[in-house]
Amino acid sequence: MNGEADGEVDYKRKYKNLKRKLKFLVYEQECFQEELRRAQRKLLKVSRDKSFLLDRILQYENVDDDSSGM
């Protein structure tokens, strides 16, 4: 009977360890998702800034082309 009792306790310990690991993995996943969202927002801002700056450069190039033709 001692062998069966030890087996049950062992399974309980394994269950608790796996449950603790699962909670940690879920927490870690949430952290990574938040970090990914932050990086995506930053990338979007940089992309918008790049587009804005390229548009401004093109405007100045067009103005320079028009004024040099005169």
What Rg, from alpha-carbon coordinates, does the chain have?
A: 30
CA dist., res. 23 & res. 13, Å (int): 15
The token duo for 64 is: 């320079």
Secondary structure of 24-55 in HEC code, one letter for each residue: HHHHHHHHHHHHHHHHHHHHHHHHHHHHHHHH
Q: What pLDDT shows up at residue 70? A: 53
Render pLDDT for 15-43 as a digit per residue (tens, 0 to 9). 999 999 999 999 999 999 999 999 999 99
For the question of whether the overall pTM of this predicted structure is more than 0.95, the answer is: no
| Total number of residues shown for the chain | 70
